[in-house]
Chains A and B, each alone.
Chain A
Amino acid sequence: MTFYSATFLQDPDFIRALYIVAFVCFILGLHFLNNPRTARRGNGIAAVGMAIALVATLLIEEVGDYGLIALGIAIGTAVGVPAARNVKMTAMPQMVALFNGVGGGAVALISWAEYRHDLSLGGNPDLDVLIPLLFAAIVGSISFWGSNIAFGKLQEILPGRPIQVPGQQFVNMGLLLVCVVSAVVIASGTESQPLFILILVCAAVLGNMFVLPIGGADMPVVISLLNAFTGLSAAAAGLALDNVALIVAGMLVGASGSILTHLMAEAMNRSIPNIVAGGFGGVAVAAGAGEGEEARPVRSTDPADVAIQLAYARKVVVAPGYGMAVAQAQHTVHELTRELEKRGVDVAFAIHPVAGRMPGHMNVLLAEADVPYEQLKEMDEINPEFPQTDVALVIGANDVTNPAAREQENSPIYGMPILDVDKADAVIVLKRSMNTGFAGIDNPLFYLDNTSLLFGDAKDSVAKVLKEVEAL
């Protein structure tokens, strides 16, 4: 009986059937993720699909060494679960970058091990295995190192501004050329592990060089692009290992990730080639430095003054940005808006699609602070309302409110859709200092006649304003 059931479970057709169930879960999961109401269920369904695919794979007859498998999974769980549980909402983007990186790393390592294994069996594998294997090694390695740099930049271990090396493009082309030529040499019959390692190393350097010159503001798009890369490399690894689960899941991610990258870039009015070329940063820094020297006057204000302006306004629109996220000010902000509403002020939140470090960043934070969903207005919906707004309260948002995007054709962010806060009767900007935003561009908004600035940590400032409002 046990023997019978064991063979039944290990039947390749049974395993393939389980894989099909897993694919259905992945596709349904992604589908549900298109709608805010079903999104969480979608994620759960995809996770179930993954569990099914994992169990099915463990049943495959050739799979052995369960002790080591358990060890690997145990280490991964011990690292991954606490990391995912404890990460702050504000640090979410870099966490995603890191998780993406280890995925790419896994692909690169697996292809390396597979190549070593083939060599020990007597030589290069057939081309239908070797070519996807080489592809997986190159792309996986790029993805691993690129994601780590993205993590470093978002975590501010590395400077967010673009880091450029002279002749960058040529160096990158050279590195890619070395990868491809070495791959062709291996594919045409050379059996050499050192050459394979050279490919991994060159791809690693290329991954670093590719992300380093990209400005921080473009990082979400880059992470999404690397995410698609990892998906493609996983699909390639699937071709090499003759495993259909890897092929399907990897390709699903490769395709949906590419679309998502495109959508994100579109929301920022940036083209992907442009981002990859790293043009944003170079120009941006120059423009920022040039205008900074003029040291134009700004008007600073104090919490009591802000409180009066807010409390006696009819309509206030809050435009939050990354500054609110780092200061964890969302709860205090909500308290302030509730206090204003009690006084009959009409309050709305203007959500720029890429405010913060990732699309949807602000929605997540404000939802966490219990701000009603109806108060969150998307950019296209709120922009026509600014001329009728008495006070626009900008909390730690910079680039997404920069009128240069509308007016200065030579500005690196020219053409990016922005929140038209400058059209409100009065603009109050809460800011830590006069530093430029993540994109490194000066913001003419600060120098407008109807703008006043309240310097300080966003949470601190909002709390002070709240106190003053309550005292009125």
Chain B
Amino acid sequence: MDLLTELTILVLAAFVGFEVISKVPNTLHTPLMSATNAIHGIVLLGGILLIGQVDGFVNKLILVIAIAFGTINVVGGFLVTDRMLEMFKRKPDPRREERS
């Protein structure tokens, strides 16, 4: 893809990012930060793209570490966010719980 197309996408993505987080309640700041944190773990894909192309032990080692780091970021990030949000779930109505 040429640079200009990539820059266009970059700028548009920035605006979507700004818009989507306009009015978030305080309560959700932490989970939201944690979820966006997990999303930038996408750098993992960069490591995957490169590792087959590079030669030499050092390069491969650097990239295996990078992939491991990226995976920790993604997997850990989404799991931690899920654990936080689990706390927010509505308590089921006790009467309805009895019936079901």
Interface residues of A (CB under 8 A from B): 26-27, 29-31, 33-37, 39-40, 42-44, 46-47, 50, 53-54, 57-58, 60, 62-65, 68-69, 71-73, 75-77, 79-81, 83-85, 87, 89, 92-93, 95-96, 99-100, 102-103, 105-107, 109-110, 112-114, 116-117, 120, 128, 220, 223-224, 227, 230-231, 234-235, 237-239, 241-260, 263-264, 267, 353, 358-361, 363-365, 367-368, 370, 372-373, 378
Contact = CB atoms under 8 A, between A and B. Distances in A.
A107 B51 contact: no
Contacts of B75: 76-77, 80-81, 84
A85 B79 contact: yes
B47 to A, nearest CB: 5
B64 A249 contact: no
Most A-side CB within 10 Å, residue of B69, B74, B81: B69
A256 B21 contact: yes
Nearest to A19: B45
Given A102-B72, A106-B73, A30 B21 contact: yes
Interface in B36-76: 36-56, 58-60, 62-76
Contacts of B39: 26, 46, 50, 231, 249, 252-253
Given A110-B43, A250-B42, A256 B49 contact: no
Contacts of A365: 87
Nearest to B46: A110
A360 B64 contact: no
A80 B71 contact: yes
Interface of B: 1, 3, 6, 9-10, 13-18, 20-56, 58-60, 62-91
Given A68-B60, A239-B10, A367-B88, A96 B80 contact: yes
B64 to A, nearest CB: 5
8 contacts: A69-B51, A76-B75, A117-B53, A238-B6, A241-B50, A250-B43, A256-B18, A364-B88
A106 B45 contact: no
Given A33-B35, A44-B82, A247-B13, A256 B65 contact: no
A257 B51 contact: no
A34 B85 contact: no
Given A106-B43, A113-B59, A251-B13, A259 B34 contact: no
A33 B46 contact: no
A92 B84 contact: yes
Lowest 5 CB-CB distances: which A-B pairs, in order?
A76-B71, A255-B17, A64-B52, A72-B67, A80-B76
Contact of B51 (A68, A249, A259): A68
Contacts of A89: 83-84, 87
A227 B36 contact: yes
Contacts of B13: 235, 247-248, 251-252, 255
B77 A99 contact: yes
Contact of A231 (B36, B53, B71, B80): B36
